[in-house]
Amino acid sequence: MGIRAAMERKIKALEVYGDSALVIYQLKGEWETRDPKLINYRNLVLELIKEFDDIIFCYLPQEENQMADALATLASMIKANKQEDVKLIQMSIYEAPAHCCNLEEEAESDDHSWYHDILKYVKNREYPDQATENDKRTLRRLANDYVLDGKILYKRRKDQVLLRCVDATEAKKILEEVHEGVCGTHANGFTMARQIMRFGYYWSTMEGDCINYAKRCHKCQIYGDKINVPPSPLHVMTSPWPFSMWGMDVIGPISSKASNGH
């Protein structure tokens, strides 16, 4: 059906992919055709390919032909009416699962960085729209720890060291370089956060992002030390006085002569 459809569209150069190694290699002449049914099929295909200037048969394993299987399944689920125009279906291929792409698209849809409101207040003393009095008071308190130098916002630490504020895109690159870059040591999350601060960078969720990044690192999961710490801390039970946890059962006087009544 595919070869005949190409002939109807007057296609002269065609690449044919199939997941049956037997059929493909028989059409290419590399394997001998013995089944009578396949002999008739091969003769029919050889007659049809004379209409093409260039045609190539390629074998494609079934595990690599998932897109064609999905399209075939989708076609069997749609009932098209010949009297009406069939609407085109737009398809996209993502390298990551759909829910991950959805989260990334939602994150990228917001053009504002996490420090947008702080930068706006430090630069122009402007509050966000629809901000309450409590929000304004909180923003003023947060802005006391930030310094604006030109167009770059810095976070002032308690030791008066300035850390450059970065957005989500820069933070992702910094995490990759610090953890597994040229000088990366595959450190844990807390160590990564301290290293990034020593390098002079800061963002609000830095420590949590470092911990999550280290947890997702495949090499750290394979070659990391085995942790034998119990999931919950051990509770030490101390006695208020010596032998307070001991007990004694009183059964009455012992009548044996050797015991002397004890």
First to last CA, the chain: 106
Give the span between the Cα atoms of 182 and 191, in whole angstroms.
17
Question: pLDDT grade, residue 163 (50/70/90)?
Answer: very high
- 233 versus 58: which is more confidently predicted? 58
Question: pLDDT grade, residue 148 (50/70/90)?
Answer: very high
| Span 216-236, pLDDT tens digits | 888 887 877 776 766 677 777
| Span 35-56, pLDDT tens digits | 877 888 888 888 888 888 888 8
Would you call 149 helix, strand, or coil by DSSP?
A: strand
Q: Which of these, 218, 233, 153, 137, lies nearest to 179 by C-alpha position?
A: 218
Give the model's pLDDT for residue 201: 94
Give the span between the Cα atoms of 203 and 163, in whole angstroms.
9
| Span 7-37, pLDDT tens digits | 888 888 888 888 788 888 888 888 888 887 7
Give the span between the Cα atoms of 186 and 220, in whole angstroms.
7
Q: In which residue are the tokens 């999905």 written?
A: 70
Give the model's pLDDT for residue 225: 72
Give the model's pLDDT for residue 103: 47
Q: Which of these, 221, 123, 205, 128, lies nearest to 172 by C-alpha position?
A: 205
pTM above 0.75, yes or no: no
- 98 versus 41: which is more confidently predicted? 41
Q: Are 146 and 154 in contact (CB under 8 A)?
A: yes
Q: What is the DSSP string of 10-71?
A: T--EEEEEES-HHHHHHHTTSS----HHHHHHHHHHHHHGGG-SEEEEEE--GGG-HHHHHH
**Mean pLDDT confidence for 80-101:** 59
Q: Is 261 left (phi over 0), alpha (psi -120 to 50) or beta?
A: left
| 24, 134, 198 from 126: Cα distances, Å | 70, 15, 31
